[in-house]
Structure 1
């Protein structure tokens, strides 16, 4: 009996020891697992650190490469900007030398038209006039594109009377429309808008000229539609129209609608319109149907009623210019001769011509002229503004004056305006000069 109890007690102790051993083994297994996991984490951390170091080195190299590329881009951009400035400076300098003979030729041609010509001579004069107009249009287009592509272009936004602009365009483009047998109509308007008067006129000129070129029958209608805070300048024609696939590219340079006989020009007009509208913030729309015509619309911000609008040049009316003395300051001999012929033979004025400020002062004498006509670019750093100031000082009175320039520089325009002297651009139109002279001497 005692032996049986002893056996049971031993079995219980063995079972207890087994359980203790199992627990100890389990704890040891867990401890080993924990040690393995920690080791794995340690190894992963080391690998991650190495990966971070490698990626850091790659990033530093990429940043160094990017910095080098940025320096190269900065150098390239500076070179491009300098090239653009050089191009602009070249065009400004070249424009004077190119427009000078063209301006003289147009004044000579104007004087020729005022003489008695037979039919053959009249035809030659007409064709020469058309050729000069084409050259002038192309040169103005190139200069306009150069100015609009410049980052430093300055716009003179002011109220512009669209009615006055329409009257000026009607006179300017009536001969072109009549030569094609087209009816050119400008709807009367009292709208006043805020824009740059020079570039708004160029926009309208290009749209009207383009409409006439691509219209063979019917006519062209120019008008204004007021919608909300905008006045939409619309140019409608009954011309060939523009296919849907061509509507985007017509605003690109040297693009013209292909058709039999073609149209004159280099395809730059609408490109100038798009550039100018983009710079001025004027939206432009196009609606067209092939064979039925086209409508170009330009959105212009309306100005409150009563705002002072820049007046458009009036017709060449007023007191007679005959016998009035005009002192011309011009360093180019052909231009001096052209001024003499036009002022004397066409307008009946008494022209006195000088090559610079000193010569003009010596020529003026005690009796001041009725008007001064001075070219901006004279020899030896002399300018027309300096000549006008010196002549007015010597005369002791504010003699009416006109500045003529081939440089489309807003600074020259502002300086001329500050002196109370209107500025005319070369190539000079005889009709435009006559209008300004009448206005100044009225």
Structure 2
């Protein structure tokens, strides 16, 4: 049996003399076994003394237990796996060459390390690209809105309208690409909570009804008093992408947004009467840049990233999405969510923050163009504004004015390794009054990682990601002021 096995085998007595060597061991060592039998192991192979392999064999004898080890063979210079069995007669050792396996393991480890390094580099690039690309686009979006009341004549107004549409398209592309990168890099962490679906529906319908009306479409939203266990922001993005997809591919008829309970789950359906999806395209619609009936890459039909983002968010949230479609008749997308206990929340009107009414705003940003754009838009809205490129400059300016701000807007990453959350904390500390609420603060940032979101939450600050349109900024500020009870407040002296 020992002569026919595929493993090399040898046995030694208590004096470490070879008592048996099988044919495989003879072949592996390349030495006739007759010249080795009866000799001590270190006499036959001097390099074995002090080696890990020999020390393991001595340990097995001392402890009287079986061992299996992977070591570099001192006699052959390759990797071997040795199984050592002490007995009353001495020691038996089976060993086999595992060099190829070890090389494969090493190659796999190196590939893993390279992949992790690539992921780290991708994350760093994503952070840099997000911040650096969003900054100038943010300034452009603000200045386009500032220019509107100063442009005279239909030709100038038309040119400005096209400029705005071009910037909106660039913003959409940048947001979508960065969203895809964040999802692929695994840096998006859902915040699962009980989310009432009704307000979410109302917000989405209010945003897209004007767009639908401009195309001659009817956008119908059913009442929904149910709640789901989900991430509010990510679910909103899923539904928005589906509504936008329906708007792009529906030329006549209607778009319906509905919810219903089924099988212990909440189903959200977005249904349209559009061009439909051919059966051979149903699986491909989830791929990046795949579009049905748009070989010319018409920008009016979007970028081909919306459904790819829906699929990734579906997997991240574990919210399956089903699609059914008939070419020429329309398409239905259904998201399945876990039901949550319905929580009644009072609905309050949010006063537009674009009505500044003399409120005093402090804006901190280290990008001069963005800072100028924010200052201009705030002044146009009726705010009094103090702008600063750092927390120190803001504190110095406030010490001269002697006025308590009504709100603070700060970029997250400032110069010299400082953060906008620190700037807000320093400004709040100037007016630290146990009897009053802290000054409302908003982080306006190009960062997309979870760190800035956690930091903002820890300081009780709102957060909105650049680039934002003036409308989005005004909405975020309105919600911030309403939550702080300062919706109708004006600045006051300290």
With the length of structure 2 as denominator, give the TM-score of the two structures: 0.74
User: Structure 2: how far apart are the matches of 1:354 and 1:313?
Assistant: 33
In the alignment, what sits opposite 1:80?
115
User: Structure 1: how far apart are the matches of 2:107 and 2:273?
Assistant: 53
Counting only pairs closer than 5 Å after superposition, residues 145-156 of structure 1 correspond to structure 2 as: 145-156=180-191
Q: What is the number of residues matched between the two proteins?
A: 395
In the alignment, what sits opposite 1:37?
none
Is 2:195 the counterpart of 1:139?
no
Counting only pairs closer than 5 Å after superposition, residues 16-415 of structure 1 correspond to structure 2 as: 45=1, 48-49=4-5, 63-115=98-150, 117-259=152-294, 262=298, 263-306=300-343, 315-317=350-352, 320-345=355-380, 347-365=381-399, 366-397=402-433, 398-415=438-455
What is the deviation of 1:319?
A: 10
Q: Which has the larger radius of gyration?
A: 1
Q: Secondary structure at the match of 1:403?
A: strand
Q: Secondary structure at the match of 1:435?
A: helix
User: Structure 2: how far apart are the matches of 1:246 and 1:325?
Assistant: 54
Most deviating of 50-59 and 68-77: 50-59
User: Structure 1: how far apart are the matches of 2:159 and 2:212?
Assistant: 20
CA contact (8 A) 1:328 1:336 kept: yes
User: Structure 1: how far apart are the matches of 2:113 and 2:239?
Assistant: 35
What is the deviation of 1:370?
A: 1.2
Task: Write out per-residue CA displacement over residues 331-365 of structure 1, whole angstroms, 9 at most, x where no aligned residue.
Answer: 111111111221111x2111111110010000012
Structure 2 unpaired stretches of 5+: 9-21, 29-79, 82-94, 488-494
CA contact (8 A) 1:101 1:335 kept: yes
User: Structure 2: how far apart are the matches of 1:418 and 1:50?
Assistant: 64
Q: Secondary structure at the match of 1:380?
A: helix
User: Structure 2: how far apart are the matches of 1:55 and 1:286?
Assistant: 62
CA contact (8 A) 1:215 1:240 kept: yes
Most deviating of 184-193 and 118-127: 118-127
What is the deviation of 1:411?
A: 2.5
Most deviating of 168-177 and 312-321: 312-321
Is 2:458 the counterpart of 1:418?
yes
Question: Cα 1:351–1:51, aligned 2, differ >3 Å: closer, same or farther?
Answer: closer
What is the deviation of 1:179?
A: 3.1
User: Structure 2: how far apart are the matches of 1:364 and 1:201?
Assistant: 39
Structure 1 unpaired stretches of 5+: 1-44
Question: Cα 1:211–1:314, aligned 2, differ >3 Å: closer, same or farther?
Answer: farther
Structure with the higher helix share, 1 or 2: 1
User: Structure 1: how far apart are the matches of 2:350 and 2:170?
Assistant: 26
Task: Write out per-residue CA displacement over residues 29-71 of structure 1, whole angstroms, 9 at most, x where no aligned residue.
Answer: xxxxxxxxxxxxxxxx576357886789799767331221111
User: Structure 1: how far apart are the matches of 2:174 and 2:253?
Assistant: 30
Question: Cα 1:116–1:46, aligned 2, differ >3 Å: closer, same or farther?
Answer: closer
What is the deviation of 1:245?
A: 0.8
User: Structure 1: how far apart are the matches of 2:200 and 2:370?
Assistant: 29
CA contact (8 A) 1:313 1:436 kept: no
Question: Cα 1:432–1:51, aligned 2, differ >3 Å: closer, same or farther?
Answer: closer
